[in-house]
Amino acid sequence: MNKEQVINALKNVTYPGFTKDIVSFGFVKDVVVDGENVFLTVDITSSAQEVKEQLDKEIKTQLELLGAKRVEVNILQPKMPREMSNSTSGKNIAPQVKNFVMVSSGKGGVGKSTTSVNLAIALAMQGKKVGLLDADIYGPNIPRMMGLSDQRPEIQGNKVLPLKAYGVEVMSMGSLMEPGQSLIWRGAMIMKAIEQFLRDILWSELDVLVIDMPPGTGDAQLTLAQSVPVTAGITVTTPQEVSLDDSRRSLDMFRKLHIPTAGVIENMSGFICPSCETESDIFGMGTAAPVALEYDTDLIGRIPIEPAIRIGGDTGMPIVYHKPSSETAKRFHEAASKLWVFIDKVNEEGGVSNQEIQPTTPPGVSACSTQSAPAPNNESSSGCGCH
Ligand SMILES: Nc1ncnc2c1ncn2[C@@H]1O[C@H](COP(=O)(O)OP(=O)(O)O)[C@@H](O)[C@H]1O
Ligand SMILES: [Mg+2]
């Protein structure tokens, strides 16, 4: 009996719940054949005891059929995700993540992704375990900004491993699609995608997951808030009135979704000249603070227009990491520190719950129903219930 025969025999062992075998999945690691004795290590993605027991049994059966007298199988499993979240009640489909930060804006192009990237890296540089989820399914820019455009994630079973850059775990629809490909999304598909990003990505035990949202206040925001308890919301705006109007909508959404608001970031606020480093007002500045006040929150950062920010975004070399002594990097670090103080405060005061925003209608009844669950065999009360 040789190693090749053993591996061939193991191809008959399918991974529980799948049609693929453990060799094709790449789970079989070390195989040592010593006469009629076989020692092997199998590294699987499930933490379930039943899966381990079933595999152990099937592997032994297959190798005994081949003529092995003694088979020792060492099955390695990931630890069960430990419940770390700050939620006290409600729903959390990614319990190994302690805090979730929703970065939102009223409109696109205001610097939401730039802010998400630099805040995430600043938090990681400050010693936190950080993930960055690009939930902007229509315009996934995070891979480029994090220098990950050419990388594709590794699949483990039916889960996906996040990519890693600048000390931050990263996942984006852009990393799962071909470059330049567009997707046309219906509301229900967006909701599913958001759920999968939280449930089917193998995020580590993180202190915080920073989530770059699509612009506006839609299905993605609602689904995220219903799926996990969001610890803090940040609104990114530019100084012009048209942007501030949209930011009010974003701040109002945090209230409606019971998301504690960490504050507002005024981006493209003034201009720092690359040669003389003086700051001038070319686009308006200082207009977001009164809006923050209207919503009982603070301005946690004012980021100037600086060519190095755009270049950093385009080349995948974020300014916080690559120009740490720049004024902009300092301001992102300050904003990240303020965000962390806010997160600590929310948790000290008992954490967050998304209980009150869970759908309340029974299965099969739409939200516009004025009745409780339809009575069986009563056709007139089935369906929406509005008419
Ligand atoms: N403060 C800034 N100074 C210079 N360029 C910026 C600044 N903020 C963002 N940009 C650039 O503006 C563009 C839009 O920013 P982005 O973060 O993609 O916005 P959003 O995610 O809100 O659509 C990007 O090319 C980015 O590099
Ligand atoms: Mg963006």
Q: Report the CATH number that the domain containing residue 62 is assigned in CATH.
A: 3.30.300.130
Residue 363 reports pLDDT greater than 80: no
Running DSSP on this structure, what letter comes out for residue 2?
-
Task: Quick: pLDDT tens for 35-77.
Answer: 999 999 998 877 778 889 999 999 999 999 999 999 999 999 8
Ligand 1 first shell, C-beta below 6 A: 105, 108-114, 141, 267-268, 303, 305-306, 309-310, 313
Running DSSP on this structure, what letter comes out for residue 286?
S
Are 42 and 111 in the same domain?
no
Q: Strands 37-43, 28-34: parallel, antiparallel or unpaired by DSSP?
A: antiparallel
Indicate which residue's Cα is closest to atom 10 of ligand 1: 310
Q: Of 374, 270, 375, 370, which Cα lies nearest the Cα of 327?
A: 270
Are 321 and 180 in the same domain?
yes
Residue of 102, 103, 114 to test ligand 1 pocket, by largest number of atoms within 8 Å of CB = 114
Q: Are 95 and 84 in contact (CB under 8 A)?
A: yes
Report the pLDDT averaged over residues 135-162.
Answer: 92
Residue 376 reports pLDDT greater than 50: no
* CA of residue 233 to ligand 2 center, whole Å: 16
Are 186 and 259 in the same domain?
yes
Burial 55-76 (b: 16+ CB within 10 A, else e): beebbbebbeebebeebebebe
pLDDT-above-90 percentage for the chain: 68
- Which ligand lies nearest to the CA atom of residue 250 in the structure? 1
Q: How many CB atoms sit inside 10 A of residue 121's CB? A: 28
Are 118 and 155 in the same domain?
yes
Among 76, 105, 124, identify where a domain stops. Answer: 76
Are 101 and 246 in the same domain?
yes
Residue 303 buriedness (CB in 10 A; 0-12 / 13-18 / 19+): buried
**Structure tokens that stand for 293 in this block:** 């006040």
Q: Are 182 and 139 in contact (CB under 8 A)?
A: no
For the CA of 310, the nearest atom of ligand 1: 27
Are 72 and 178 in the same domain?
no
Is residue 265 in a domain? yes
Is residue 85 in a domain? no
**Structure tokens that stand for 139 in this block:** 């315009």
Is residue 239 in a domain? yes
Report the pLDDT averaged over residues 121-145.
Answer: 95
Is residue 264 in a domain? yes
Q: Of 62, 67, 65, 47, which Cα lies nearest the Cα of 1?
A: 67
* CA of residue 109 to ligand 2 center, whole Å: 7
End-to-end alpha carbon distance in the chain: 73
Are 310 and 165 in the same domain?
yes
Domain containing 366: what range? Answer: 360-387
* CA of residue 68 to ligand 1 center, whole Å: 62
Are 15 and 132 in the same domain?
no
Task: Quick: pLDDT tens for 96-129.
Answer: 999 999 999 999 999 999 999 999 999 999 999 9
Task: Quick: pLDDT tens for 311-330.
Answer: 999 999 999 999 999 999 99
Residue 88 reports pLDDT greater than 90: no
Q: Of 49, 54, 15, 55, which Cα lies nearest the Cα of 155?
A: 15
Is residue 91 in a domain? no
For the CA of 141, the nearest atom of ligand 1: 18
Residue of 269, 310, 330, 332 to test ligand 1 pocket, by largest number of atoms within 8 Å of CB = 310
> For the chain, how many structural domains are there in total?
3
Q: Of 47, 61, 38, 36, which Cα lies nearest the Cα of 28?
A: 38
